[in-house]
């Protein structure tokens, strides 16, 4: 399941407020604890700003720069205008040296998906049925997919390691 352009990835999908970010935080920590370098991609449906109005990089962008980079001794950030939304595969090379990519969202992507169920369980999966590999959430149940409680982060990490061939 390796991506042709780099490390393997998996999408964490679910409805709004299902707990995707909370579960992803735990999953990132679990993979880091196991020695994996984790990259993440957060899918957002609308526009967003990560630059503060009035700051130099904000001023550069407002003056017309299509790409703005801020560099410091321990981190770097690039804000770039794009003509169309990029796929996870197109974004991965921007992440640098990582062993696994965890994407939050991207329900329509070609990557394998783990769906986070809201309290009460998943009534109908929101991700791609042909890409779903597991459900996570208290009360999650499915006849054909592995299901995990929201506290079974280690078991979900094991499933991902095996599914993506990270050993």
Is residue 160 in a domain?
Answer: yes
The C-alpha atoms of residue 93 and residue 165 are separated, in whole angstroms, by 20
Is residue 35 in a domain?
Answer: yes
What is the arithmetic mean of pLDDT over 10-14? Answer: 96
Is residue 115 in a domain?
Answer: yes
**Enclosing domain of residue 95:** 9-48+84-164
Is residue 134 in a domain?
Answer: yes
Count of helices and strands (H, E) across the chain: 4, 8
Enter the tokens of residue 159: 């499933």
| pLDDT surpasses 60 at 2 | no
- pLDDT of 101-134, one tens digit each? 999 999 999 999 999 998 877 777 788 999 999 9
Q: What CATH number does the domain containing 36 carry? A: 3.40.50.300
Enter the tokens of residue 87: 């796929």
The C-alpha atoms of residue 61 and residue 136 are separated, in whole angstroms, by 40
| pLDDT surpasses 50 at 91 | yes
Is residue 159 in a domain?
Answer: yes
Is residue 32 in a domain?
Answer: yes
The C-alpha atoms of residue 159 and residue 146 are separated, in whole angstroms, by 9
Pairwise pLDDT comparison (124 vs 86), residue with the higher score: 86
Is residue 113 in a domain?
Answer: yes
Is residue 73 in a domain?
Answer: no
Q: What is the number of domains present in the chain?
A: 1
Q: What's the pLDDT score for residue 5?
A: 54
């Amino acid at each position: 399941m390796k991506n042709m352009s780099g490390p393997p990835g998996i999408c964490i999908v679910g409805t709004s407020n299902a707990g995707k970010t909370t579960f992803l935080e735990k999953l990132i920590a679990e993979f880091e604890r196991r020695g994996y370098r984790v990259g993440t991609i957060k899918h957002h449906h609308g526009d967003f700003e990560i630059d503060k109005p009035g700051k130099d990089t904000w001023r550069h962008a407002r003056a017309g720069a299509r790409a703005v980079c801020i560099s410091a001794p321990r981190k770097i950030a690039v804000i770039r205008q794009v003509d169309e939304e990029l796929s996870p595969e197109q974004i991965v090379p921007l992440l640098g040296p990582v062993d696994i990519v965890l994407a939050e969202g991207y329900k329509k992507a070609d990557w394998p998906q783990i769906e986070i169920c809201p309290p009460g369980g998943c009534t109908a999966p929101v991700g791609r049925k042909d890409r779903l590999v597991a459900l996570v959430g208290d009360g999650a149940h499915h006849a054909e997919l592995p299901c995990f409680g929201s506290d079974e982060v280690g078991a979900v990490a094991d499933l991902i390691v095996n599914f993506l061939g990270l050993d």
